[in-house]
Amino acid sequence: MMLLPVLLAGGAGSRLWPLSREQYPKQFLALTNSFSLLQNTALRTQILPNVVAPLAVCAEGHRFIVAEQLRAVNMGQAKVLLEPEGRNTGPATTCAALWALETYGPETVLFVMAADHTIPDEAAFAKASGIAVEAAKAGHIVSFGIHPTHPETGFGYIKAGAPLEIEGASAIAAFVEKPPQAKAEAFLKEGGYYWNGGMFLFRADVFLAEVQRLEPDMLLACERSLAKAKRDTDFVRLDGPSFGDARNESIDYAVMEKTEKAALVPLDAGWDDVGSWNFLAKLPAVDPRGNLARGDVMVEDCDGTLVHGTHRLVTVLGLKDTVVVETVDAVLVASRDRLQDVKKVVNRLKAAGRSEAVARPRVYRPWGWYETISLSDRFQVKRILVKPGEKLSLQMHHHRAEHWVVVKGTARVTNGDKVFLLGEDESTYIPLGHSHRLENPGKVHLELIEVQSGSYLGEDDIVRFEDVYGRTPEVAGMP
């Protein structure tokens, strides 16, 4: 029996704005330790027996971030299943099960989990997972129920039913929608109710048989999408039109609430969905008045204040139950009892066409990253980092020229019909309309300052001739 972790790495994490943005959402951020939430999730699965390299499911735009972060924790054998569009967890899980069926066989056990949750008690996680595996072997589709610590109204609940033949597992009596406060309090008082943590474990063949029975059209769309998928070493690109035919539905509504094979395994391991900045409150306070500070922060005469600084000194004075989050281009100041409404702010930013809702100043690419230092009408200054052995696409621009100054490492530059090396403190000029490419042939990171000048500086002013990462010439954006 093989255990395949399936890491669902979609979602925008808008309630953790301004740190989390659509182009680099919360699952890729290091919020609890030196690893990202995705990396912590992947590492957590490796303590389980008979586990194979994980399968991550994400959007096309995040594919290189996912692959690079998994390689950074020695999981270079992981596969990445690319969704052409978001269709909720039902189609994503079904495609993952179909891939597991053809790759490892029908009895493969899938452990489906969100990539942006935290579970600090790994021993309790491993124990509950072992019970769930035994239940899956017996033909059950397992949902993990999180032990509630307070009457939460933002989660759905699962009510435990009669005990099953597997010790520690039970049938599911009911799934309950997000309740009002009074009902949530009654659930805790009565007992036997658990938060629905969105974690599932099952055999590939058992799950797919239930999808066939309950959602045949979804299964057919997913089968077609995988059959027509484009595959390479790291990625499986699902076919867009076929995938779009799958009903936009969660695994809960599509399968779990209808199947007679559902089982519940309780999990009491400090789980948190990192759904808002209130997750900081679970970290140890830095003073007796319940304040928590991360970064270059000074707190004076505050109570219950959570401050996250990233780029500069942040000082707070005389605040109570307030969250302050500082980034290079945006600052959030919010009452702790309104943090679920941060998404409303993000929606207003989107409606206004503000880039702060979507992108961070530092933009990650498969070859490294770039960030804007200064921007005006006819010029832009960027800092660019290229990883060892990587290269940008061969490209040209219609509306801008570029000056490159190397500040660290060695650059191999293609400028028109010339190819040459640049060392530290050396520079070159790329005239408007010239084909050009930047490469790092060295063993250390290449860093340079790029000064763009011209009538139009948008990232869609790119004509791409050649690209080692398989991106099409039509794709706009920094190559």
At 23-69, the pLDDT tens digits run 999 999 998 889 999 999 999 999 999 999 999 999 988 998 999 99
Does residue 477 have a pLDDT over 60? no
The pLDDT of 339-351, averaged and rounded, is 94
Residue among 20, 61, 59 nearest 364 (CA):
61
Which distant-in-sequence residues (6+ apart) come within 8 Å of 264 by Cβ? 142, 143, 144, 145, 158, 160, 161, 169, 170, 171, 172, 194
Q: Tell me, yes or no, whether 152 and 89 share the same domain.
A: yes
What is the domain-level CATH number for residue 99?
A: 3.90.550.10
Which of 178-192, 269-283, 291-305, 437-451 is the least confident region? 269-283
Residues 93 and 177 both lie in one domain: yes
pLDDT tens for 357-405 read 998 888 888 899 999 888 888 999 999 999 999 999 999 999 999 999 9
What is the model's pTM? 0.88
Closest CA to 75 of 138, 4, 180: 4
Query: Is the residue at 181 inside a domain?
Result: yes
The per-residue pLDDT for 106 is: 96
Per the domain annotation, does 202 fall within a domain? yes
Q: Determine if residue 276 is left, alpha or beta; phi over 0 gives left, psi from -120 to 50 gives alpha, anything else beta.
A: beta
Residues 50, 87, single domain; the answer is yes
Q: Is there a domain that residue 229 lies in? A: yes
47 lies in the same domain as 165: yes
What is the crossing angle of helices 89-104 and 204-214, to 10°?
Answer: 130
One DSSP character per residue, 195-215 reads EEEEEEEEEHHHHHHHHHHH-
Last residue of one domain, picked from the residues 208, 237, 267: 267
Looking at the 3D structure of the chain, how many domains does it have?
3
pLDDT (0 to 100) of residue 360: 84
Q: Is residue 471 predicted with pLDDT exceeding 90?
A: no
Tell whether 148 and 177 lie within a shared domain: yes
| pLDDT at site 340 | 87
pLDDT at 403: 97
Q: What is the mean pLDDT of the chain?
A: 93
Of 11-15, 118-122, 181-185, 429-433, which gets the smallest average pLDDT?
A: 11-15
78 and 147 both lie in a single domain:
yes
Q: Is the dihedral of CA 373, 400, 390, 467 positive or negative?
A: positive
| Whole-angstrom distance, CA of residue 342 vs CA of residue 275 | 11
pLDDT at residue 217 in the model: 97
With CA atoms as reference, report the closest residue to 277 among 11, 16, 14, 25.
16
Domain that holds residue 390: 362-466
Instruction: For residues 83 and 31, state if they share a domain.
Output: yes
State whether 151 and 299 are in the same domain. Answer: no
Cβ-contact 142, 236 below 8 angstroms: no
Predicted local distance difference test score (pLDDT) of residue 380: 93
264 phi/psi in degrees, rounded to 5: -120, 130
Distance between CA atoms of residues 211 and 16, nearest Å = 34
The predicted structure's pLDDT at residue 232: 82
Q: Are residues 190 and 253 in the same domain?
A: yes
Backbone angles phi, psi at 189, to 5 degrees: -70, -40
* Residues 51 and 191 reside in one and the same domain: yes
Supply the pLDDT for residue 479. Answer: 45
Is 12 in the same domain as 120?
A: yes
**Domain co-membership, 281 together with 232:** no
DSSP class per residue in 1-26: --EEEEEE-----GGGTTT-BTTB-G
Q: How far is CA 415 from CA 227, 261, 467, in A?
A: 42, 63, 16
Residue 122 domain-assigned (yes or no): yes
